[in-house]
Amino acid sequence: MNSWINLDALWKIMVVGLLAGAGLPALFAVGVRALNPPARTGDDLAGRPAAGPLGYVVAGVCFAVVLAAIGWGIAVIVNHS
Amino acid sequence: MTGNDVVLALVVVTALGFDFTNGFHDTGNAMATSIVTGALPPRVAVAVSAVLNLVGAFLSTAVAATIASGLVNSGDVTLTVVMAGLVGSILWNLTTWYLGIPSSSSHALIGGVVGATIAAAGADAVKWQGLVAKVIVPAALSPFIAGSVAALGTVLVYRLTRGVADRPRQHGFRIGQVGSACMVSLAHGTNDAQKTMGVITLALIANGTLQSGASAPTWVITACALAIALGTYIGGWRVIRALGKGLVEIEAPQGMAAESASAAVILSSTDFGYSLSTTHVATGSILGTGVGKKGAVVRWHIAHRMVAAWLITLPASAVVGALAYWVANGIGGTIGVAVIFVVLVAASVAFFVASRRPAVTPENVNAAWTGSVVPTTPRDEVAS
């Protein structure tokens, strides 16, 4: 069975794929949300709440992690040679 | 031997031609979603992708002769076999591109070489278990892996940004989308340009120009990098349109989820030594984002058409490769190889002419989907 299907590689791909492929966009989404807090009821469209200092910190951390992961991805490509 | 040198030159030119079709066939894998959501203007998108493919081709310098080793007995591979295999794979690539079907260029290449090898040395020369384990099983699994990752990513992204207004959300995710699409382009350059480098190196070894086990000379790496980049820049607009507009109507957050899933799955599979087809992964991801978003339009009949094309890619290019071998071998020698080369060039020109009327261009690639690859009302919706 194992010579026909490489299960060992498959589950690793699945785990890394889920963490990086779904986790990073999710983190990015958290960053986008932190920068653009949802409007409270009663706010008109022009007066959307601006992100507070905490929002900027959260967004900064999220985007930094995403960038670091991209750097890791490039390192993987380069080191694979 | 001058005759051999002519054959070698034809094989190298044909291999670079394959690399070129590989480039424009696969532009859509990385850039289709960014083009349809307006994250990048069409021409800028293909230019960025071309540069990253060029860089990627140089980044990863270890050239494994992935196509031949493990799939066919390399002792049975002659220059004529390589040439016939390339003819089969290019013709199949052009056919699927004309129809706007994102089929795997690596499958076309493997199918062509396997078909030509069977024609030359019989079915025993093919390592069937290697073919199943390294090519067929990964091909069957990769769309599901990539699709489920992309679907989960899409669900998470939409849930997490639920209260965010549409405009900042579109804006933010377009930036993220460009980043993730760039990663896919880079990964494509490192993976796919290498296959052609491997084929040319194999031909040089078969000819005795290089010692067995030699790595690719610099001129081969440079030529392959340029060929795939040029192909990418020309842009397979038919495939881009089919992937980006035909399969699923895509928004920026979906585009980012799809490209991130593709990049993560391709890179991790490269790292774990399990090579998946970029095309199958990208198509699976785009389908996955359609499944992951409530109310998204997924055109399953187009997905079925693509899957059908995937299934016949290996056998179809194998048949063309075998036919090409029989013709070349039947005529014999340098003239035989020259004849299939001329036929290939004529067929390529015919495909190009047919694709011009009407053409799918950067100007009409985003026109509303009306059931066909070629927009029925050009310049519709372009201004948006």
Give the start-to-end residue ranges of the domains of chain A: 7-80
- Which of these, B80, B77, B181, B69, lies nearest to B127 by C-alpha position? B69
Task: Calculate mean pLDDT across residues B198-213.
Answer: 81
Q: Do A18 and B152 touch (CB under 8 A)?
A: yes
- The encoded tokens of residue B183 equal 């990663």
User: Does residue A62 carry a pLDDT above 50?
Assistant: yes
- The encoded tokens of residue A26 equal 């999710």
Across chain B, mean pLDDT equals: 86
User: Does residue B183 carry a pLDDT above 70?
Assistant: yes
Model pLDDT, residue B21: 93
- pLDDT 10s digits, B302-317: 889 888 888 999 999 9
Distance from CA of B364 to the nearest CA of A (A): 30
* Residue whose entry in the numeric block shows the structure tokens 């990663």: B183
User: Does residue A73 carry a pLDDT above 50?
Assistant: yes
Q: Do B168 and A74 touch (CB under 8 A)?
A: no
Residues β-bridged to residue B248: B298
Residues in A closer than 8 angstroms to B225, CB to CB, are none
DSSP code per residue over B16-73: HHHHHHHHHHHHHHHHHHHHHTTSS-HHHHHHHHHHHHHHHHHH------TTTTTTB-
**Is omega for the bond preceding B358 within 30 degrees of 0, making it cis?**
yes
Q: In terms of C-beta density within 10 A (0-12 exposed, 13-18 middle, 19 or more buried), how is residue B327 classed? A: middle
Q: Indicate the SS3 state at residue B267.
A: helix
Contacts of B38 by beta carbon, 8 Å cutoff, 6+ apart: B174, B366, B384
Q: Do B164 and A36 touch (CB under 8 A)?
A: yes
Distances (CA, A) of B149 to A57, B152, B276: 28, 5, 15
Q: Out of A9-18, B137-146, B189-198, B309-318, which region has the weakest mean confidence (pLDDT)?
A: B189-198
Distance from CA of B347 to the nearest CA of A (A): 36
- The encoded tokens of residue B210 equal 């290089």
Find the residue in B nearest to A7 (Cα). B274
Distance from CA of A11 to the nearest CA of B (A): 10
- Helix/strand/coil percent split, chain B, to 5: 75, 0, 25
Band of pLDDT at residue B379, cut at 50, 70 and 90: very low
Find the residue in A nearest to B182 (Cα). A70
Per-residue b or e along B35-66, where b marks 16 or more CB atoms closer than 10 Å to that residue's CB = bbbebbebeebbbbbbbbbbbbbbbbeebebb
- The encoded tokens of residue B61 equal 């310098």
Percent share of chain B, pLDDT over 90: 37
Band of pLDDT at residue B215, cut at 50, 70 and 90: confident
Band of pLDDT at residue A40, cut at 50, 70 and 90: low
Distance from CA of A36 to the nearest CA of B (A): 6
Specify whether the CB–CB gap between B77 and B119 falls below 8 A: no
Q: Do A22 and B156 touch (CB under 8 A)?
A: yes
Band of pLDDT at residue B62, cut at 50, 70 and 90: low
* A5 close to B (CB below 8 A): yes
Per-residue b or e along B101-129, where b marks 16 or more CB atoms closer than 10 Å to that residue's CB = bbbbbbbbbbbbbbbbbbbbbeeebbbee
- Helix/strand/coil percent split, chain A, to 5: 75, 0, 25
Q: Give the count of beta carbons closer than 10 Å to the beta carbon of residue A76.
A: 16
User: Does residue B134 carry a pLDDT above 70?
Assistant: yes
Residues of A numbered 16-75 whose beta carbons fall under 8 angstroms of chain B's beta carbons: which are they? 16-22, 24-26, 28-33, 35-39, 48, 66, 70, 73-74
Task: Calculate mean pLDDT across residues B66-91.
Answer: 82
Model pLDDT, residue B68: 54
Distances (CA, A) of B316 to A2, B58, B90, B109, B148: 29, 32, 12, 11, 29
DSSP code per residue over B321-353: HHHHHHHHHHH-HHHHHHHHHHHHHHHHHHHHH
Specify whether the CB–CB gap between A57 and A33 falls below 8 A: no
User: Does residue B63 carry a pLDDT above 50?
Assistant: no
Model pLDDT, residue B69: 65
